[in-house]
Amino acid sequence: MVRLVFVTGWMRSGTTLLGELLGACPGALTVGELTHIWRAYHREDPCSCGELVSACPLWGVVAEVVGSRHGIGAGPDAAISYDEFHQLVFGIMTIWRVPGLRRLRPDRPDQFPPDVARLVEVMRTVFEVVGKISGDARIVETSKSPAALLTFGLVPELQITPVHIVRDPRAVALSESRSRRWSGVSDRLIPRGRSAVRSSIYWSVFVPLCHLIGRGHPGYRLLRYERLAARPQPTMTTLAAALGLTPPTFLAPTIVQFTESHLIAGNPSRFGSRIREIKVDERWRTGLTRFERSAIILITAPVRLVLRLLRA
């Protein structure tokens, strides 16, 4: 049985940071967003360990096994290219597939649509190989999307515990609408942005959807980003204990020592220093226009009220 902590939530909500913090717990390994792994192979993107994915001691082995078992690869002998399989995956990872995915059951694989059945078998191999290489460590995955959580839930011998991180929609909107450049990081590795209004609409849809699907799994946890950023050490101590893990090493109450990771996709911060200071970010208070703030408050009001009732 492979144990997976699935970090879910909307974009720019701290999923990469939380994944790295959980991956820094002894006996855990963070792998980033596995729904993007096929694009990473196709483009020869770097792993967070510094190696290209094809040369990474983890993802290089995964590529060999997946290629031999399922015919996915880059050469002319491959049955399906990495780019083609990436397109297949993202045909599944849409909000429109969620209702159909919710009706599927792990014990009825005969009812899986062909594309879902193929992805489930491939991901079974991926998790199997990662589990063996990591020495049966707890795997931390940050694909975020409800469709990915539902699909991974169909993988045999995979025990999933979702952790849902929610961030103030005003902070999310500012982050999405004001693109940041990272020194030494290719622009293609930086997530795309969107307007503050569109960001708040997506936030209002995905936050309740992540909660609805996540709470169907045993051990589901709902976490506020602001609480994590303000009190990272005690928050991680509590969360790690709930997941049966030892907390990561903190050099000071807000400074954490990250271990070597193998993250695929996510925030470019994954390429940063292994010693990181975690700070509260409230730039949205001055970075948003009056119209943007008003629109975000209005659009997200129902969901924020529910979160308050949930004491999140």
Q: pLDDT of 269-308, one tens digit each? A: 766 677 889 988 889 999 999 999 999 999 999 999 988 8
Q: What's the confidence (pLDDT) of residue 182?
A: 46
Residue 81: pLDDT above 80? Answer: yes
SS3 content of the chain, % helix, strand, coil (to 5): 50, 15, 35
Distance (Å, rounded) from C-alpha 242 to C-alpha 189? Answer: 33
Q: Angle at which helices 15-23 and 232-242 pack, to 10 degrees? A: 70
Tokens of 35: 């729904």
Digit-coded pLDDT (tens) for 27-57: 999 999 999 999 999 999 999 888 999 999 9
Digit-coded pLDDT (tens) for 87-110: 999 999 999 999 999 999 999 999
**Chain-centroid distance, C-alpha 236:** 17
Provide CB contacts within 8 A for 128, sequence distance 6+: 2
Residue with tokens 């569109």: 198
Mean pLDDT over each residue of the chain, to the nearest integer: 91
Residue 14: pLDDT above 80? Answer: yes
Digit-coded pLDDT (tens) for 185-205: 555 545 566 888 999 999 999
Q: Is the dihedral of CA 46, 50, 56, 62 positive or negative?
A: negative
Digit-coded pLDDT (tens) for 172-183: 999 888 765 545
Q: What's the confidence (pLDDT) of residue 187?
A: 52
Strand 80-81 versus strand 2-8 pairing type: unpaired
Percent of the chain with pLDDT over 70: 93
Question: Which stretches of 71-193 are DSSP H helices?
Answer: 82-92, 98-102, 114-133, 146-152, 169-177
3-state DSSP assignment of residue 149: helix
Q: How many other CB atoms are there within 10 angstroms of residue 278's CB atom?
A: 21
Q: Angle at which helices 290-309 and 196-214 pack, to 10 degrees? A: 10
The pTM score is 0.92
Domains in the chain (CATH in brackets) are 2-309 (3.40.50.300)
CA–CA distances in Å: residue 7 to residues 2, 60, 61, 164: 16, 24, 24, 6
Cβ burial, residue 181 (10 Å; 0-12/13-18/19+): exposed
pLDDT band of 243, cuts 50, 70, 90: very high
3-state DSSP assignment of residue 55: coil
Mean pLDDT is lowest, of 35-44, 53-62, 70-79, for 70-79
The per-residue DSSP string of 57-77 comes to: TTHHHHHHHHHHHH-EESSTT
Residue 84: pLDDT above 50? Answer: yes
